[in-house]
Amino acid sequence: MSKTRLLQITHDLHVGGLPRVVDTLCRTLDHDRFDVSVLCLRDVGPLGMALREDLGIPVHKLRDNHDVPDRTAFLKVARFLRKNRFDVIHTHNTEPFIEGSLGAILAGVPTLVHTDHARPFPDKRRYMLAEWFVSKFAWRVVGVSDHTTENLRRYERISPRKLVTVVNGIDGHRYDAPIDAAAARAALDLPRGAPVLGFASRLEEQKGMTWLLQALPGILKVHPDLKLLVAGTGELEGPLAEEARSRGVDHAVRFLGVRLDIPVLLKVFDLHVLPSLWEGLPMIILESMAAGCPTVATAVGGVPTALVDGENGRLVPPADPGALQAAILEALADRGGLRRMGERARATFQERFTARAMARRYEALYLRRPLPAD
């Protein structure tokens, strides 16, 4: 039986939630049935390099200068598709959806699947209009949470018969591996017994780290030796470091930069915090669940579909440092409760959010078959 030739189209494969979904799909799809390639519109990135090296998956880059708008990108995509003759393309977020769809129409690719990884709505009118138009040529348009799917229906008027929700998933094996947390803490030069909060995400407005910094002075009054480890980088790294200094909490905050050892860090964190302003279903939430690391997060987007307040995590309103502070202090005050919360989070992950469960649903979409039961 010949394999289905599948192309994933994305902006890039740098470290981040969307690239991690593409990376996970490439690694988890049934390679006996699918011949997988990736086209990056802007840059390849470290995850793309790893796919080449680990699995020999072809990862292509459309153009070199991604800082200059390219009005003919869809023509370049069409030429690439004609040359390589794919059966299915899977696009991720707005630019790949528009350029990839137009290219697929010109090249005659029979099946188009698109995933929206969540953004604040309403978006720019021209983007929503363009996505409404190209959605007419898609087989299915996927939201990563029911909240995202509903936004696509409500704001972009995408036909409900085309819309489907496929929640993100990750490979939990990396997070189940035994890790010497004491040695990892020592390597990070953390004081013995000091509580450790973790923030592992992009340093951008969406992720809401400013609200955690605003909550931190009150937390330090109760736990003066507490440390906050920040794993990630972004356009707000400098401003957030300055905010930590201005609030007098910089002695408790460590900016670690980009880290590829998130499974280790999640074993070091006593509590993972994600105070986002908006989300789909963030990968770091699933990673923390897989590692059994309890999480305090904001009740936005698809987060409440994974975390149930007081059961396998804590949920607070967005942009509310008082509520965030109270939830963190309450969680840290009950070490036994923290452990049980982490165990329940791990059980929820194993039941609903594995990489294989996600891949099975996308495989069905690629082959135009009914989605498997959850």
pLDDT in tens, 257-297: 988 899 999 999 999 999 999 998 899 999 999 999 999 99
Q: Is residue 19 part of a domain?
A: yes
Assess whether 180 and 161 both reside in one domain: no
Q: How far apart are CA 294 and CA 314, in angstroms?
A: 8
Q: 285 and 359: one domain?
A: no
For the chain, the three-class secondary structure string (H helix, E strand, C coil) is CCCEEEEEEECCCCCCHHHHHHHHHHHHCCCCCEEEEEEECCCCHHHHHHHHHHHCCCEEECCCCCCCCCCCHHHHHHHHHHHHCCCEEEEECHHHHHHHHHHHHHHCCCEEEEEECCCCCCCCHHHHHHHHHHHCCCCEEEECCHHHHHHHHHHHCCCCCCEEECCCCECCHHHHCCCCHHHHHHHCCCCCCCCEEEEECCCCHHHCHHHHHHHHHHHHHHCCCCEEEEEECCCCHHHHHHHHHHCCCHHHEEEEECCCCHHHHHHHCCEEEECCCCCCCCHHHHHHHHHCCCEEEECCCCHHHHCCECCCEEEECCCCHHHHHHHHHHHHCCHHHHHHHHHHHHHHHHHHCEHHHHHHHHHHHHCCCCCCCC
What integer pLDDT is reported at residue 372 of this predicted model?
Answer: 87
CATH number, domain containing residue 207: 3.40.50.2000
* Prediction pTM value: 0.85
Residue 63 lies in a domain: yes
Say whether both 202 and 305 belong to one domain: yes
Number of domains in the chain: 2
Residue 148 counted as domain residue: yes
Within-domain flag for 222: yes
* Residue 372 counted as domain residue: no
Do 92 and 203 fall into the same domain? Answer: no
pLDDT of 67 reads: 61
161 & 182 share domain: no
Residues 358 and 335 in one domain: no
The token duo for 267 is 């074993």
* 361 within 8 A of 310, measured Cβ to Cβ: no
- Please report the pLDDT score of residue 66 as a whole number: 62
Residue 48 in domain: yes
Residues 118 and 246 in one domain: no
The low-confidence residues of the chain, meaning pLDDT below 70, are 65-69, 374
Residues 175 and 261: their CA atoms lie apart, in Å, by 10
Omega of the bond leading into 122 within 30 degrees of 0 (cis): yes
Task: Indicate whether 138 belongs to any domain.
Answer: yes
pLDDT at 71 (0 to 100)? 81
Residue 15, pLDDT score: 79
Whether residue 232 is found in the same domain as residue 108: no
Q: What gap in Å lies between CA 255 and CA 50, rounded to an integer?
A: 25
Residues 280, 361: one domain?
A: no
Same-domain status, 218 and 117 = no
Q: What is the dihedral of CA 212, 264, 358, 127, to 10 degrees?
A: 40
pLDDT at 374: 64
Per the domain annotation, does 65 fall within a domain? yes
Task: Note the pLDDT of residue 145.
Answer: 92
On whether both 92 and 187 belong to a single domain, the answer is no
Per the structure, the complete domain to which residue 253 belongs is given by 173-352
One domain for residues 256 and 289: yes
